[in-house]
Structure 1
Amino acid sequence: MINTYQTSLAPPPVPPRLNRSHPVLIPGQLPSQGHSKSVIWFLVGVALLHLFLSVGAFIFLYQRGTLENSSAAEGKVAAHSSGKQETSYRALARMVVARPRQPTQKSTSGYFQWDVGHSIHRNVNYYQKSWLTILESGDYYVYSRVTFSRGDSVRPLAAIVKLKKNESGEEKTVMQAFCHLDSHSGSASIPHLCTAMQGDVMTLEKGNLLSVWVQDLSLVNYDEGATTFGMYKL
């Protein structure tokens, strides 16, 4: 049998329907060259602005840190200067003892007299050349050094610091020191010496007076640096 359903001819094309619309593809427009340049310049401007802001912030922070360090250094210098100035005006005295004008072998007890021209005193005054007057109340370190060149056959050699509350006040012993020498020891060429040294912290009020008393002024060595009296405010 012959297959009448097979044929070599292609079926005819289906005609388009008149009532259906076909989409039409329209290619999009490429961006213009001027628009691309504008975008590039905008990005460059943003980058430069960011760079300028970063540099400005760095300079600001650097200058601020420099100023803070400078202010801190100036503060330290000012504090150091203030402390140094305060120390330089602190009350003190270092009194040189005057040599008696007419030394005698007779026992003459009494108070030392100060050689004011060779002494140092700041914010501390002196009264009748034998007393030191306190001008500022506070805590003071008081010291004395008395060197003896001859001994006493009856009593030990003593240096006594005395205090008066005011010019008319009663004398009070606040410090004393002793040393011993044989009354027959020593010679003109090789003298025997002893030194009575003492120091203590005491609270003094404005108007107080201090001095050093010895039982025999003729036994004291008046060489420079051998005998002195002083104080300084803490």
Structure 2
Amino acid sequence: MINTYQTSMAPPPVPPRLAGSQPVLFPAPLPPRRHSKSLIRFLVAVVLLHLFLSIGGFIYLYYNDKMLSFQLPSRKGEEGQTAQFSSEKQDTSHKALAQMAIFHPPHSSDQKSAPGYLQWNINHSVLRNVAYYENTWLTILEPGDYYVYSGVTFSRGDSERPLVSRVKLRKNENAEVSVAMQAYCNLSSSSSGSSGSPSSRHLCTATQAAVITLERGNQLSVWVQDLLLVNYEEKATTFGMYKL
């Protein structure tokens, strides 16, 4: 008999077993880690750049709007008012003021000494939001605190009385007159007479200044004891005011 269980061929090798019971699959290839990190870094950079641009734009718009609020004037109601943050030049250009030039009245040989109010030469004076009344009074149009100044120069003295200049005030054209300020000056007795050349005359100036609270309609004027004693040269006698 032929032994069928014996053969010279070796049995086929046994396939290796897997560690787990999972079936053999073909997994999808994963993306390289290098490309993944580059993408994440790019996205983070874009987000940060957008954030910085947003913050910078907000700061720019905030300060730009703030600067415009300093420069643009504002108006409230029907009364036009300049902005609180306007420049000092714009603010002071609309304030009330007066710079008066004195009027030289014609003198005659028979003219007598008499007290009176100085008259203003309106053509050579500066008035802003201040009116004048009968060429001797100034009328206040804007109430407030005013710096008032006066300087009256005398070219001749008075042998009996000291030279005096008074700034007088009244509430309106029909009200009683009161003294707001007054000043004195003295000349030597040798110059008290009317004789003598202009170059040999002595001069003195009665100056005064004060801050006065004035209402609308108040009036101011300058009074002297003798109009013939005043020096009427240009700029020798001055009077003015400006609102603080």
Contact 1:112–1:130, Cα closer than 8 Å, also in 2? yes
Q: Unaligned regions of 5+ residues in structure 2, if any?
A: 1-16, 73-83
Contact 1:160–1:213, Cα closer than 8 Å, also in 2? yes
% identity of equivalent residues: 50
Of residues 185, 188, 191, the one that matches 1:182 is 188
- Compute the RMSD of aligned alpha carbons: 2.6
- Residue 174 of structure 1 aligns to which amino acid in structure 2? A
With 58-67 and 166-175 compared, the bigger mean Cα shift is at 58-67
User: How far 1:102 sits from its partner (Å)?
Assistant: 2.8
Q: Unaligned regions of 5+ residues in structure 1, if any?
A: 1-22
CA distance in 1, matches of 2:65, 2:231: 55
CA distance in 1, matches of 2:197, 2:153: 16
CA distance in 2, matches of 1:114, 1:135: 18
Of residues 129, 133, 151, the one that matches 2:139 is 133
Contact 1:103–1:218, Cα closer than 8 Å, also in 2? no
CA distance in 1, matches of 2:26, 2:230: 118
CA distance in 1, matches of 2:68, 2:152: 46
Number of residue pairs matched? 211
CA distance in 1, matches of 2:107, 2:200: 23
Aligned to 1:20: none
- SS of 1:152's partner is coil
- SS of 2:62's partner is helix
User: How far 1:130 sits from its partner (Å)?
Assistant: 0.4
With 84-93 and 103-112 compared, the bigger mean Cα shift is at 103-112
TM-score, normalised with respect to structure 1: 0.79
Of residues 95, 99, 103, the one that matches 1:94 is 99
Aligned to 1:72: 66
- Residues 61-80 of structure 1: CA deviation (Å, up to 9, x unaligned): 12222222223333334444
Aligned to 1:150: 156
User: How far 1:107 sits from its partner (Å)?
Assistant: 0.7
User: How far 1:40 sits from its partner (Å)?
Assistant: 5.4
